[in-house]
Amino acid sequence: MSTFKALLEREYWEHRGAFLKTPMIIGIISIVILLLGYFTTERFDKVMTNGQAIETGSQSLESIDPLLITHFIDIFMLTTGYIYHIVLFMVLFFFMLSSLYDDRKDGSILFWKSLPISDTQTVLSKLVTATVMVPLIFTAVLILSHLAFFLVLSLLLLINGVNPFTVLWSNIDYINNWGAFLIGCMVQALWALPVYGWLLFASAYSKRRPLLLAAFAPLMVGFIWYWYNAIFNYNILKIGVFKTLGIYMSKSFSPFTSGMGFDVESMDFDARNQTNIELIKSMLNGLSNESLYYGLVFAIITIALAIYVRRYRNTT
């Protein structure tokens, strides 16, 4: 257990910039945008109305329905959470792609294999890092980023004579918003396991440029399957490349997007009729999709292959 913990710590310290600094930068950017928006609006207001518009707007904030304020805060927290989800997947994609290739490239694999560490432990430590440790880090940073954003916003409200506790802090749905993000990370990890397993195999197998194998092989399979359906099913005029891709993306991402009221086919986003509870229920209901279990079988096979290949491939 201590060995596996040490392997997880190794992954964290080797990729600290991507795992920790990246989500922190997103939080900082959101605060900078808030400040830029405020000072730009204030400067414009002073030029146009001598500061009367902001003062009038500040006075009217306290008369707004608290449910409406909660609604807009939920939209902000869900939107930033969605951005964090996208960045999380991008970070993990490149992490998994290089996870087993880099130590062969720089020769450090010989050092690690001289230690009493099995290839199974090494591969699983990278998988646990991607599915558990990094999502938890992103969740913690998201919470801190939201709190920092609300603190800066509170200061701006105080400057304009508005009580931030009655207007802002009392209307924040902390548990459901942050809980939805954390559950979303776990659900995302389950759906992404086939991708992670394939990236691990590509990283372990490729002698150079694992991205080519990771991307080229699925594209070739998709290309062959497309023309098989087009030729043998005689529907070459019905099946289009973009239509086929759109259907696939719709089915693949429906467990995440359906809970947010985002319809991939109609491209309609209506968060007003959704609550965080409904979002969480929708993500959990996606776990009953049979496609998820087919993906888990594929993930188990590719992870086992990655372990097997790493056992016999010591250098590039």
Q: What is the pLDDT of residue 233?
A: 63
Residue 127 has pLDDT above 90, yes or no: yes
Residue 174 has pLDDT above 60, yes or no: yes
Q: What is the pLDDT of residue 248?
A: 40
> Quick check: is 260 in a domain?
yes
Q: What is the pLDDT of residue 43?
A: 55
> Quick check: is 61 in a domain?
yes
- How many Cβ atoms are within 10 Å of 54's Cβ, its own excluded? 17
For residue 269, the surrounding DSSP H or E stretch is strand 268-269
Look up the pTM and report it.
0.79
> Quick check: is 2 in a domain?
no
Most confident of 191-205, 213-227, 263-277: 191-205
Q: What is the pLDDT of residue 273?
A: 43
| Domain carrying residue 300 | 7-312
Report the relative pairing of strands 262-263 and 268-269 from DSSP bridges.
Answer: antiparallel
> Quick check: is 93 in a domain?
yes
The more confidently predicted of residues 225 and 291 is: 291
Number of domains composing the chain: 1
Q: What is the pLDDT of residue 264?
A: 37
Rounded Cα–Cα distance for residues 164 and 132 (Å): 35
> Quick check: is 99 in a domain?
yes
Query: Residues 241-254: what's their mean pLDDT?
Result: 44
> Quick check: is 73 in a domain?
yes
Helix (H, G, I), strand (E, B) or coil at 263: strand
Residue 149 has pLDDT above 60, yes or no: yes
90-94, 230-234, 296-300 — which is least confidently predicted? 230-234
Residue 57 has pLDDT above 60, yes or no: no
Q: The dihedral of CA 33, 38, 43, 48: what is its sign?
A: positive
> Quick check: is 287 in a domain?
yes
Q: How many CA atoms lie within 13 A of 147 on its CB side?
A: 8
> Quick check: is 1 in a domain?
no
